[in-house]
Amino acid sequence: MKKQDRAHLKLLSDVGEILSLLTGSSDITEFLQRVTTKLASHLNTAVCSIYLYDEKSDDIVLTTTVGLKASSVGVTRLRLEEGLVGKALRELKHIVLEKASLHPEFKYFPETGEDPYECFLAVPMRRGVERIGVLVLQREAPHKFTESEVHLVLALTSQLAGTLENARALLALQSGTIQPENRADKLPTFLQGKSVCPGVKSGPAYVFRRRASLIPEGAAKEGESVDLETAISATAKELTALQQQLANRLPEAASLISEAQLLMLTDPGFVGAMKAKVVEGAPPAQAVSDIARKYIRLFENSTHAYLREKASDVEDLALRILKNLFPLENDARSSYKNQVVVARDLFPSDILKLAAENVNAIVLVGGGTTSHVAILARSLQIPSIIIDFQELLQIRDGEFVLVDGENGHLYVNPEEETRRKYEKHIQTTEDISVLASKIQEETRTRDGIRVRLMSNINLLGELDLALQLKAEGIGLYRTEFPFLVRDTFPSCNDQLQIYRELFQRMAGREITIRTLDAGGDKMLSYFDTDGEPNPELGLCSIRLTLSHPEILEDQLKAILLARENQNRIRIMFPMIASPDEFLTAKEMVVQQWKKLPTETRGELPQIGMMLELPAVVDLMDEFVRIADFFSIGTNDFVQYMLAVDRSNERVADFYCPHHPAVLRGINRMVRPALAAGKDVSVCGEMAHDPKYLRFFVGIGIRKLSIDPNTIPEIQQCLATETCASMEKYAQDLLKCTSIREIENLIGA
C-alpha cells in the first residue's frame, strides 16, 4: 500500500474516532472545529470550512472554519442560488477549480478574507434527498486538488453527513431557532391516501416505532415493581397466549412470532444476566434495559440482515418484561388492541403481531398497494390505507383518528358530524351473508357469456370468505407467506400441513398453487441476499429456487403429497423467462411425482407458468407447446415492461398499467395461447379494475383470479356489459398510440 493511501486510511479512521466524541458532548461548536482542524492538517489545506443549510431561513451558513476569519462564522450566509457553495448544494455535485474567482458563479465575501485561496473544492453533504451542508477546502495557487484528494474528501463527507445532520439540529436547538411544537396540532384534519384494504375503523393513533425507548443507560425507573422472576413468568404466559391466538388465526405462521422470544426467556446469557445484575444491587428495570441494550447492539452490528432484524425482537421482549415489572402502571390490554397503528414500514411479522393483538386499522406512511405487506393486510382484513405524508409520523399517540379504507381517507380528530356519518355507514354496510345471498353461482355477461371468477389466496384464513362469496376455485395460491413470516425455511412437513388443509377445504374445486416467489420486494430475512444492488432484477422467484433446488424439491414434494389423488390441483411457476427454465422446473415436478407410491400418485398435475416478463411475449408459440396453462401477473408485467420498481414511491407515477406497450404485450401473449386452446387467466391488480376488466374479457380472457371481497363488484360489472361491447372496447384501446389517448378513452 502506498504511503499516501495509508495516510488517507488513517484520516478516515481518525475522523471515525472524532465522530464518536459527539455523543454526550455539550459543545457542538468545539466538535465541529476539531473536525475542520483535523481535515485541514491532514490534507494540507490553508482553509477548511463547514457550511450548514438552515432550512427555516433557506440560507447556507458558515458554521466553522480553519483559515478564514473567525469573525465571519455565523455571519457569512448565502442562498442556494448564490456562489459556488450554493451551486454545489443546489445541484448536489462537487466542484473542483484551480482558480475559483474566474468561475461565472463565484461570489466574493470580503468578511471572510478568502482572497488568496483560489484553489477550491466544495463537496455537498446530503442524507437521501435532504441537504445538510457543504464542506469547502481552499488553497493558494498553484496547489490544486488532485483526483485522489477529491475521492478522499467525497468518502469523508459521506462519513460525516449523518453526524453533521445531528450537529445541525443540536445547534438549532441551542440557538432557539427550533422551538418545541405540537406537530399533531399542525396536521391537516383530512388526508387523502390510497385504499389498501376496505373497511371503516376509528380509534386512538399509535405510531409504530421499531426503536422504542428503553430506560436510558444509568437511569433507574422509579415506582413499585414486582420481582424480576414474576415479571419474566408473566411475560412467558403473555407470549404463549399470543402464540396460540396467532396459530388459531394464521396456521401458516404457527409459532413463528413468539418462539425466539420464549427461548430467550430461558437463556442464561439473557435473563440470567439480568438476574445477576439484580443480585449485584441493580434495580430490576435497569437490569432489563442494560442487558437488552447490550443484545440490541450485538444484533444491530451483525453482518447478517437476519440477525440485525432480531434487534427489534429483543426490544419488544424487553418492553414486555418492563411492562410486567410495573403491572399497576400498565393496564392488561395489548399495546395495539383497538388502536390505529401509523407506521413508516412494517415487516410481515409486524403485521401478524398487529393482527394477533386486534389492531383496529393500519396507516402506512408511503409504500405501494402491491407490496407484500399491503397484500398481507388485505389478507388479514385489517382496514388499511397508504398516505404519502411523512409529517403523519409526528402525530401524538392517543390522538383520535378515523380510517376510511374504502376510499383511502384519514380524518384526524374528526368533527362530530363526520363521526356520526361513518357510524351510520358502518351500521348500514352489508355484511358478508347479505352480499353472498346476492351473488350468482355462475358469472355471466349481459349476453350470457360465462366468465369464471376465481380467488387469490395468501393465507388459509381467507378460504372462508372465498367460499362464502362463491369463488369457483383458487386461481392463485401464493405460497411465499409461510416462507416470509418464518425465521427459517419451512420444512416439507410444515408445508404439507398447510397445503393439505387448503386442498381439503377446497375439495372439488380447481386450485392453482404457485411455487415460491421470494426475492425482490418479498425478501426472506434469513436468506443471505445482502449486497443485491437491485433486488427486483436479482436472484428472486424461479431463479432463486432453481439455484437452490433443494428448496423447490421440498415444496413440490409437499404439494404432491397433499394432493391425495385430487386431480384439479395445478402447479404454476413464477417469473419464467425462457423455455429452458420452464422445462427444468417441469422436470423437477415429474421426478418428484415419480417418487410417490403408485397407488397414491394420481395423474401428473397440470403444470403452467406466470406471464409476467417481456421476454415471454415473442416466445409464446414455444411456451404454448410445453405449458398446460398460463396466468398473467399484471403487477410484475407492468413493472418489467416499463422498468418501474412498483415498490418505489418516487417513480410511482411511471407505473402505468394502461401504457400502450403493456396492453399490446398482454394481447400478444393471450392470442396464441387461446388459439391453441390453452387456459389463460389474469391474477394481478388490473383484474380488480372495471376499466381493465372489460379489456381482458374483450381480448378473450374467460377466467379471472381476484381478491375474494371483490367478487360481488366484479360479477355485477360483468352482468351489465355485453361481450361484443367489451371486444370493441379492447380493440379501440389496442389502436391507441399514446397514454393520453388511452386515458381519454377509459376516463382515467
DSSP alpha helices (H): ranges in 250-283? 259-264, 271-279
Identify the DSSP state of 737: -
- Structural domains present in the chain: 3-175 (3.30.450.40), 186-213+227-428 (3.50.30.10), 432-746 (3.20.20.60)
pLDDT, residue 184, reads 46
- Burial class (CB within 10 angstroms; exposed 0-12, middle 13-18, buried 19+) of 479: buried
Is pTM beyond 0.95? Reply is no
Task: Provide the 3-class DSSP secondary structure of residue 178.
Answer: coil
Amino acid in position 422: Y
Identify the DSSP state of 344: S
pLDDT-based confidence at residue 450 (cuts at 50, 70, 90): very high
What is the rounded CA–CA span in Å between residue 512 and residue 630? 10
The answer, yes or no, to whether residue 44 has pLDDT greater than 50, is: yes
Dihedrals phi, psi of 591, to nearest 5 degrees: -65, -45
pLDDT, residue 332, reads 42
Of 190, 200, 90, 198, which is closest to residue 134 (Cα–Cα)? Answer: 90
C-alpha cell, 9: 486510511
Beta carbons of 352 and 379 less than 8 angstroms apart: no
pLDDT, residue 25, reads 43
The answer, yes or no, to whether residue 191 has pLDDT greater than 80, is: yes
Neighbours of 456 (CB within 10 A): 27
The answer, yes or no, to whether residue 583 has pLDDT greater than 60, is: yes
Higher pLDDT among residues 630 and 163, named by residue:
630
What are the residue numbers of the active site?
372, 683
C-alpha cell, 401: 383518528
The answer, yes or no, to whether residue 705 has pLDDT greater than 50, is: yes
pLDDT tens-digit readout, 200-236: 899 999 988 754 456 655 555 655 567 899 999 998 8
What is the rounded CA–CA span in Å between residue 66 and residue 55? 24
Please report, to the nearest 10 degrees, the dihedral formed by the alpha carbons of residues 439, 443, 445, 449 taken in order. Answer: -160
pLDDT tens-digit readout, 301-342: 766 555 666 777 788 788 888 888 887 655 444 468 889 999
pLDDT, residue 21, reads 46
Mean pLDDT of 725-736: 96
pLDDT tens-digit readout, 76-131: 999 988 999 999 998 888 999 999 989 999 998 888 988 889 999 999 987 655 68
Render the burial of 116-155: b for 16+ CB within 10 Å, e for the rest. Answer: ebbbbbbbbbbeeeebbbbbbbbbeeeeebeeebeebbee
DSSP states of 121-171: EEEEEEETTEEEEEEEEEE-TT-PPPHHHHHHHHHHHHHHHHHHHHHHHHH
pLDDT tens-digit readout, 387-441: 988 889 889 888 999 998 888 889 998 888 788 777 766 655 556 677 778 889 9
The angle at the Cα of 654, spanning 649 to 659, to the nearest 5 degrees, equals: 145
The answer, yes or no, to whether residue 183 has pLDDT greater than 50, is: no
pLDDT, residue 238, reads 82
Of 349, 343, 318, 394, which is closest to residue 209 (Cα–Cα)? Answer: 343
The angle at the Cα of 715, spanning 713 to 720, to the nearest 5 degrees, equals: 95
Beta carbons of 643 and 622 less than 8 angstroms apart: no
pLDDT, residue 168, reads 65
Query: Phi/psi zone of residue 135: left (φ > 0), alpha (ψ -120 to 50 degrees), beta?
Result: beta
